[in-house]
Structure 1
Amino acid sequence: MSVAAATMTGFDAKTLRADFPALQQEVNGQPLIYLDNAATTQKPQAVIDALSNYYSRDNSNVHRGAHALSDRATVAFEDARKKVVQFLNAGSSKEVLWTRGTTESINLVASSYARSVLKEGDRILVSAMEHHSNIVPWQLAAQTCGAEVVAIPVSENGEVELDAYKALLDERVKLVAVGHVSNALGTVNPIREMIQLAHDAGAKILIDGAQGVPHFDVDVQALDCDFYAFSGHKMYGPTGTGVLYGKEALLEQMPPYHGGGEMIKTVSFDGTTFNELPFKFEAGTPNIGGAVGLAAAVDYLQGIDRAALAAHETALMQYAHERAAGFEGLKRIGCAKTIAGAFSFLLEGVHPADVGMLLDQQGIAVRTGDHCAQPIMKQFGIPGTVRASFALYNTREDVDALFAGLEKAKTFLL
């Protein structure tokens, strides 16, 4: 981590930007303006160094080796888990499972917990603005037992309709799955209230935190969620890394997700007994270097004043909305009262893909398409959006560059 990041009591995005090597380049002859952070964030040098140091010095398999490298790798791997425990304020290391990302975390719960408790006639509630990864696993689980996946309605502003949610919460509902923040719209969902309402109805709840942890402090015990899933690569860590938090009592009763090495205690052809938590759910050689890199990303974020970071990102989003209000032909998609990370919009009469291509020619990276959220796009009657998404290293100058790029794109497209 840079000295500036490690000693900050306020927030200076321009100083922190220097910590990210990928941001120091030009694209198509222009300085890179990276606004695709909801897809993946860039990595600080501290994370790159942690990965390099692990593979240069400590590379070995964990837990069962009888030599120094394996001991060092095991310590680093389990220390990384402890850092995530603290990062989330989980109860213990037994409640933090390594996965390949949010998608696998949700599939783990759907395949293990949901399939073991659901029966015919049961319901899973999922908001209408969810990422496909928080829809399809529940559909697959429901199909095996005759359960039903029901959409929680979302308003035209892109907000969960809480009254409709409350009305859906009857005795048939066994599980609720909702995103902390919508990847497609930027909507920050009222998850505290949704968690409490689910529990009052006797249902368990999973929070897709992929777009939450980069922007907010997350305290899973204070939230009282049953499961919380996130990806390392969206919070400045390596790709192929993820975490599933689950309450210990629930994880204990769940059957294993994968079979193989590490997740077993004894194996014979007469039967197999399984390892204790968290290893029961971690079959095979894990992404050890990835976990070490994710721990470095946690350290990097924890070295920053998170309240100041949140204030910076909020101000950046407000500035983007102010610029959008005065930009002729631009229509915001998703106008929730509370938005984080993603600024989603359309230019009147222009396909999003054409906007993205012309912005790229100017060195501005955005995402276009349906953002793996086809149901909400269908509700809005659009093929997709242009999505600019912000991270800690983005500035007002980046927003100005985006709108200057859009002005130039309009001269070619309209």
Structure 2
Amino acid sequence: MATFDVARIRADFPILSREVNGHPLVYLDSGNTSQKPRQVIDAIRTHYERHNGNVARSVHTLGTEATEAYEGARGKVGRFVGAPAEEIVFTKNSTEAINLVAHAFSVRATDERFRLGPGDEVVISEMEHHSNIVPWQLLCERTGATLKWFGLTDDGRLDLSAIDEVITERAKIVSIVHYSNIIGTINPVATIIARAREVGALVMLDGSQSVPHAPVDVTALGADFLAFTGHKMCGPTGIGVLWGRSALLNAMPPFLGGGSMIETVMLTGSTFMPPPARFEAGTPPIGEAIGLGAAVDYLTGVGMEAVQEHERRITAYTLDALATVPDVRIVGPRSLEDRAATISLVVEGVHPHDVGQILDAEGVEVRVGHHCARPVCVRFGVPATTRVSPYLYTTTDEIDALIRGLYTVRKVFA
């Protein structure tokens, strides 16, 4: 597309033409899962109608076509984040990608970079999604390592004032969210990575909310691992991605055992394929990967710089509009500086679940709850928030509908 035309983009998403409770659908929950363009839906349908076969197992035509499409999707995803295809591992979501990396660490790891035990440290932050907290808690329980974290400032930023005390020479892995899924903060990952390099720690980034919304290049980022998921970037559910540096992937043990990830199997032992096949045991999510490849094609056609700029305009418009609604408080950054489009808010005196139900009655779909980031809610003293998460298809008219809905909330609970 030569220019960013929101109306033209919206026409590609069939679901956006429907009504909810007698009102035009206003979908503001893309941080939870994005809607899917017709091009992605058609690609998945075409695969199952014309090319369905298993990958890496057959010499017949359908198997060959499926394998070529599956591996072609891997190449597309790699190019999308500036990585070679052999560094792209398909998982079922970001959660599995993070668990895969956590699984590589153990007391008995043969590679020193992944050897973790008592006295060693794992570093996360108070801002993390549960999927970037629980795997590391479990790892520390297994190994006796210590879990440490960065706290949050009152304005929703990572508190890096004691970075040298949080990331010490005992740190083996630092795993940090790139863009917060609950308050939209864009974290200063370059500063964190630089400190990790000083002490020899590996770095993992949760890119679930950054890769769908802005240009991301793994070389420029400088991390060692990046996790992201297809369903938040116009692709289907059931497909995620782990990018890892080739030298590290080659040093990591298998995550799951079974077919496709082996070289030779004997009753006395087995040998394993090189990455990425080593980490893709069993029949993979073939149709889902093909759908993700189509989503990458779609986003590339729109242009990620254009997506980022559109969301920046929508965010500015939303922040200004919310400021006009009495008793609405934004949790997290209140300016455009180092913040993404995700906005969490609280209507004073009204539980977020009630806010969500009233908005839904007017066709406005938002998410309410702790957004799998309960420590953030605890930090700011709220049981939950109402989260607004626009995307490339969001219009200012939809934000106006949100504002009208919030005024209805205030009227109902006056």
TM-score by length of 1: 0.96
RMSD: 1.1
Residue in 2 that maps onto 1:220: 218
CA–CA distance in structure 2, aligned partners of residues 79 and 13 of structure 1: 29
Matched, 1:308 2:329: no
Write the mapping of 1:3-402 to structure 2, written as runs, cut at 5 A. 8-90=1-83, 92-113=84-105, 116=109, 117-335=115-333, 337-402=337-402
| 2: CA distance, partners of 1:276 / 1:156 | 46
Q: Distance in 1 between matches of 2:178 and 2:68?
A: 32
Shift of 1:12: 1.6
The Cα of 1:164 is off from its aligned counterpart by 2.2
In structure 1, give the amino acid aligned to 2:100.
L
Gaps of 5+ in 2: 110-114
How far is the alpha carbon of 1:338 from its aligned partner? 1.9
State the AA in 2 paired with 1:273: T
Alpha-carbon distance, 1:114 to partner: 5.8
Q: In 2, distance between residues paired with 1:131 and 1:180?
A: 11
The superposition leaves residues 81-108 of structure 1 with CA deviations (integer Å, 9 ceiling, x where unpaired) of 0111111111x22210000010000000
> How far, CA to CA, are the matches of 1:286 and 1:169 in structure 2?
37
Q: Name the SS for the 2:99 alignment partner.
A: helix
Shift in Å, 1:341: 2.5
Matched residue type, 1:346: V
1:408 alignment counterpart: 408
Q: Percent identity?
A: 47
1:10: Cα distance to partner?
2.4
Q: One-letter code of the match for 2:30?
A: N
Q: Does the CA contact (< 8 Å) of 1:9 and 1:305 recur in 2?
A: no
Asked if structure 2 preserves the Cα contact closer than 8 Å seen for 1:152 and 1:160, the reply is: yes
Q: Please give the alpha-carbon distance, in whole angstroms, between the structure 2 residues aligned to 1:164 and 1:327.
A: 37
Q: Give the letter aligned to residue 46 of structure 1.
A: Q
Is the Cα–Cα contact under 8 Å of residues 153 and 165 in structure 1 kept in the other structure?
no
Partners in 2 of 1:114 and 1:390 — Cα distance? 40
Any idea what SS the aligned residue of 2:149 has? strand
Taking the aligned partners of 2:39 and 2:106, their CA distance within structure 1 comes to: 38
Q: Which residue does 1:5 correspond to in 2?
A: none
Shift of 1:192: 2.1
Q: Which residue of 2 aligns with 1:3?
A: none
Aligned length, in residue pairs:
406
